[in-house]
């Protein structure tokens, strides 16, 4: 920062090595500032892709904290490493062949039954999801509830890394959302109607017109388009 | 079996894991008399206890602790108030804590098994 | 109407729906509202017998904490495995201070639990609070000539300190059957284990035990067996059906939950969800009772 000659800094430890970094940076930017170059373990930089899972401890605090590197600001005395990927077996399945009534979640992931309700997964989740609750709903075969409770999961895998029962929570949630979408979510009538209209060529002429428009006019129309609020 | 050389490590470990006094067993055999699964076992429950008293590690290879269903009929019958199922559990735990699971989840046919069966089995037979 | 806090457990939401549906119906008839805990987790099904592994106690204790946090000092169960595990975990908390401290320290997001919640089985509500006369009063289709084998299994009566009845000569099911107008039959395997969780990795052992127990009930003249345990139910019902494939001469005996028997006698056989049973009990029940004829 050229206008502030002496920027305030904090001291952090990346994989045990000490660095002075400007205060206010995210963990991700602090790592780049310290000379690390991301090839993996980074994605959207906006807290949505789940690629930059990070674990850290703070000086004088026994707790192991978990977060996303792109969303968390560095603190003085932070000991951190990234854990961008957790090996967790994802089962192969054909969505068309799964039977909701037979508890496919437990069938495909019987390790769910090893849950001891320690709640570590919930405490770990950087999205603040009630992970243990959806694991319990999965044991009971309540696919809809698992889909609902896991909806904001970004598949970072931190829960699976911490679980003493070795459950791949994020894959279970994903399976539940897929089953829910395929078999249980109510169909959207508007969407069905619109798809039918498209199939029947209702919009063919409009589309044809757009395709043949000169770029300048297309740009103008785009900029002046109606946006629903 | 060499009893003189045994330092009874196993005995101490089972006592610690189960919280029971193994030596209070005087081999009356009531646990085995009441056990509904002795015909599936390679050692009778009272024989398991005797071997643990002697520090005989061959009990770790016995199928008896894995056949035990923790039904507690031996516990209610024991005149010495021994929690025999806890002793069976301690022997299971010695293996499970070495990461030697008795049940392989990858081999399991889980289809049609209710959660109550899976949860209880995996709690007793995986570490 | 009496309101009680109720912990269903996983099976009653999945493979044992008929157990829950019938319990809800008969409770309504008895003027009891079963209010389900709004949040609960698996109880663990089997109590951990290891002295130093407290991790496996967290599941049941967390449920007791939730009951307390929802303002209940009593928690009612239907499943005998849940009942047993919750009661024993509670007793651990009450009796062993060092373990209680460790568990409370580990569960650092929850307010400390000291064992304030009292866990009861639904059968205790019937026997000790409502009384058999209350039950008898609601019967519209007495089980007249129905012979019922009471299968207590393990978890209702053992260990002694936790059991709700005598571990050798329990009577609570017999009293229930009598108050429904049926005849309890004495059979030798009332309290003998069905093989429990060995059904997962030693199916044959459980098949043999299912044969012994059900044939014993049949020999004693039973038309139907009653249970309070979804795992006993699976092992005696589903495994009996498996048994019929290898032993076609076996004479099957249907196995139902005690609340389903109550629903039959109270005139609501339709709530029982008997479609989920492998051995269909309807024929045995309809032949020997006036089920369905009154309402």
Q: How far apart are CA C161 and CA B83, in angstroms?
A: 13
Residues C58 and C180 in one domain: no
Asked if C170 and C235 sit in the same domain, the reply is yes
Work out the pLDDT band at C274, boundaries 50, 70, 90: very high
Summarised one tens digit per residue, pLDDT across range A115-157 is: 999 999 999 999 999 999 999 999 999 999 999 999 999 999 9
Residue numbers of A between 95 and 124 with CB closer than 8 Å to C: 103, 115-119, 123
Nearest beta carbon to residue B122 from set A102, A103, A113: A113
Q: What domains, with CATH codes, occur in chain A?
A: 9-82 (3.10.20.30), 95-184 (1.10.1060.10), 192-223 (no CATH)
pLDDT of residue A227: 83
Average pLDDT over residues A193-210: 95
Residue in chain A closest to B107 (alpha carbons) equals A110
C287 pLDDT higher than 90: no
Q: Are residues C155 and C68 in the same domain?
A: no
Distance (Å) from the C-alpha of residue C200 to the closest C-alpha of chain B? 7
% of chain C with per-residue pLDDT over 70: 97
Regarding whether C227 and C148 lie in a shared domain, the answer is: yes
% of chain C exceeding 90 in pLDDT: 95
Question: For residue A101, what pLDDT band results from cuts at 50, 70 and 90?
Answer: confident
Cross-chain Cβ contact A141/C39 below 8 Å: no
| C-alpha to C-alpha distance for A49 and A53, rounded to whole angstroms | 10
Q: What is the pLDDT of residue B6?
A: 53
Residue A105 pLDDT greater than 70, yes or no:
yes
Question: What six digits make up the tokens of A16?
Answer: 């045990």
Residue C45 burial (C-beta neighbours within 10 Å; 0-12, 13-18, 19+): buried
DSSP B46: H
pLDDT computed for residue C292 by the predictor: 47
pTM equals 0.91
- pLDDT at residue A102 tops 80: no
Where does the pLDDT of residue B5 fall: very low under 50, low under 70, confident under 90, or very high at 90 and above? very low
Mean pLDDT of C169-198: 97
CA distances from A142 to A39, C40, C231 (A): 39, 13, 19
Residues A84-93: tens digit of each pLDDT: 999 998 999 9
Radius of gyration for chain B, computed over Cα atoms and rounded to the nearest angstrom: 15
Q: Tell whether C74 is covered by a domain.
A: yes
Residue C274 lies in a domain: yes
C234 burial via Cβ count (<10 Å: 0-12, 13-18, 19+): buried
What is the interface size between A and B, counted as CB pairs within 8 Å? 28
Name the band, by pLDDT with cuts 50, 70 and 90, for residue C295: very low
Cα separation of A183 and C220, whole Å? 47
Cβ burial C68-104 (10 Å sphere, 16+ → b, else e): beeebeebbbbbbbbbbbbbbbbbbbeeeeeebeebb
The count of other CB atoms within 10 Å of the CB of residue C253 is 25
Q: What is the pLDDT of residue A89?
A: 87
Contact check, Cβ <8 Å, B115/A107: no
pLDDT of C157 > 60? The answer is yes
pLDDT tens-digit map of C23-70: 999 999 999 999 999 999 999 999 999 999 899 999 999 999 999 999
The span from the CA of A88 to the CA of A173, in Å, is: 13
Task: Report the C-alpha gap between C77 and C161 in whole angstroms.
Answer: 18
* Chain B environment of A141 (Cβ under 8 Å): 115
C153 and C196 assigned to the same domain:
yes
Which domains occur in chain B, in start order?
9-101 (1.10.1060.10)
The CA distance from C33 to C272, in Å, is 18
B121: chain A residues, CB-CB within 8 Å = 113
Cβ burial, residue B99 (10 Å; 0-12/13-18/19+): exposed
Taking the CA of residue B103 and the nearest CA in chain A, the distance in Å comes to 11
A136 touches chain C (CB under 8 A): yes
Distance CA B30, CA B7 (A): 28
Please report whether residue C293 resides in a domain.
no
Is there a single domain that holds both residue C242 and residue C160?
Answer: yes
Highest mean pLDDT among A101-110, C78-87, C286-295: C78-87
For residues C103 and C52, give the distance between their C-alpha atoms in angstroms, rounded to a whole number.
11
Question: CATH number, domain at C29?
Answer: 1.20.1050
Q: Is the peptide bond before B90 cis (omega within 30 degrees of 0)?
A: no
The number of folded domains in chain C is: 2
In this structure, are residues A70 and A52 in contact, taking their beta carbons and an 8 Å threshold? yes
Q: Sheet of C147-150: strands edge to edge?
A: C183-184, C147-150, C224-227, C255-257
Q: What is the pLDDT of residue C293?
A: 47
Evaluate whether residue C144 is within a structural domain.
Answer: yes
What CATH number did the domain enclosing C173 receive?
Answer: 3.40.50.11810
Which chains, if any, share at least 3 CB pairs under 8 A with chain B?
A, C
Within-domain flag for C56: yes
Contact C50 B18 (CB under 8 A): yes
Report yes or no on C211 lying in a domain: yes
Residue C102 belongs to what H/E stretch?
A: helix C97-106
CA B24, B30, B33, B35 torsion-angle sign = negative
Give me the domain span that covers residue C15: 2-122
What is the mean predicted confidence (pLDDT) over A184-192? 92
For residue A138, give how far its alpha carbon lies from the nearest alpha carbon of chain B (Å). Answer: 10
In a domain, C135, yes or no: no
Region B28-48: what's the mean pLDDT?
Answer: 98
Query: Which of C90, C122, C154 is the last residue before a domain boundary?
Result: C122
- β-sheet bridge partners, residue C225: C149, C255
Q: Is residue C133 part of a domain?
A: no
**Interface residue A132 vs chain C (CB under 8 A):** yes
């Amino acid at each position: 920062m050229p206008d502030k000659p002496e920027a305030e800094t904090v001291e952090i430890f990346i994989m045990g090595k000490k660095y002075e970094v400007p205060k206010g940076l995210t963990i991700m930017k602090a790592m780049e500032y310290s000379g690390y170059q991301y090839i993996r373990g980074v994605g959207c930089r906006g807290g949505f892709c789940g690629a930059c899972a990070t674990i850290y401890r703070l000086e004088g605090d026994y707790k192991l904290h978990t977060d996303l590197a792109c969303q968390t600001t560095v603190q003085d005395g932070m000991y951190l490493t990234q854990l961008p990927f957790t090996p967790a077996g994802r089962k192969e399945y054909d969505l068309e062949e799964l039977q909701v009534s037979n508890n496919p979640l437990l069938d495909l992931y019987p390790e769910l039954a090893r849950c001891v309700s320690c709640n570590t997964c919930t405490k770990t989740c950087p999205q603040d999801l009630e992970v243990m609750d959806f694991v319990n709903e999965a044991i009971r075969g309540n696919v809809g509830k698992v889909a609902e409770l896991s909806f904001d999961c970004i598949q970072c895998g931190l829960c699976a890394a911490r679980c003493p029962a070795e459950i791949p929570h994020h894959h279970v949630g994903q399976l539940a959302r897929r089953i829910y979408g395929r078999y249980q979510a109510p169909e959207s009538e508007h969407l069905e109607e619109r798809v039918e209209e498209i199939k029947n060529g209702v919009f063919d002429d409009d589309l044809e017109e757009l395709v043949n428009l000169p770029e300048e006019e297309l740009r103008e129309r785009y900029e002046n388009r109606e946006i629903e609020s | 079996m060499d009893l003189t050389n045994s330092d009874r490590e196993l005995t101490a470990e089972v006592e610690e894991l189960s919280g029971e006094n193994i030596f209070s067993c005087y081999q009356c055999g009531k646990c085995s008399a009441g056990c509904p699964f002795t015909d599936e076992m390679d050692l009778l429950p009272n024989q398991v206890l005797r071997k643990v008293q002697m520090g005989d590690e061959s009990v770790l290879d016995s199928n008896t602790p894995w056949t035990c269903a923790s039904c507690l009929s031996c516990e209610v019958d024991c005149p010495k108030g021994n929690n025999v199922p806890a002793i069976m559990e301690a022997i299971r735990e010695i293996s499970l804590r070495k990461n030697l699971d008795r049940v392989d989840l990858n081999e399991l046919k889980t289809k049609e098994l209710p959660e109550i069966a899976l949860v209880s089995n995996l709690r007793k037979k995986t570490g | 109407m009496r309101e009680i806090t109720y912990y269903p457990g996983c099976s009653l939401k999945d493979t044992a729906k008929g157990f829950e549906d019938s319990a809800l119906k008969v409770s309504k008839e008895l003027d009891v509202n079963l209010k389900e805990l709004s949040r609960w987790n698996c109880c663990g099904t089997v109590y951990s017998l290891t002295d130093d592994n407290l991790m496996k106690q967290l599941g049941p204790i967390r449920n007791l904490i939730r009951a307390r946090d929802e303002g209940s000092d009593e928690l009612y169960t239907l499943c005998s495995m849940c009942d047993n595990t919750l009661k024993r975990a509670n007793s651990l908390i009450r009796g062993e201070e060092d373990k209680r401290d460790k568990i409370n320290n580990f569960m650092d997001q929850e307010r400390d639990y000291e064992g304030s919640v009292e866990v009861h089985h639904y059968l205790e509500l019937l026997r000790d609070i409502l009384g058999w006369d209350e039950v008898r009063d609601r019967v519209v289709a007495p089980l007249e000539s129905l012979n019922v084998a009471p299968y207590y299994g393990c978890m209702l009566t053992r260990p002694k300190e936790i059991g709700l009845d005598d571990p050798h000569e329990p009577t609570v099911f017999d009293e229930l059957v009598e108050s429904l107008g049926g005849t309890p039959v004495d059979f030798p395997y009332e309290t003998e284990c069905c093989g429990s969780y060995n059904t997962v990795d030693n199916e044959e052992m459980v098949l043999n035990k299912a044969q012994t127990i059900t044939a014993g009930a049949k020999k004693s003249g039973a038309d139907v067996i009653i249970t309070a345990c979804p795992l006993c139910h699976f092992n005696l019902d589903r495994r009996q059906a498996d048994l019929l494939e290898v032993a076609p001469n076996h004479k099957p005996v249907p196995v139902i939950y005690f609340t389903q028997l109550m629903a039959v006698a109270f005139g609501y056989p339709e709530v029982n969800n008997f479609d989920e049973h492998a051995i269909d009990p309807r024929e045995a029940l309809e032949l020997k009772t006036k089920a369905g004829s009154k309402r």
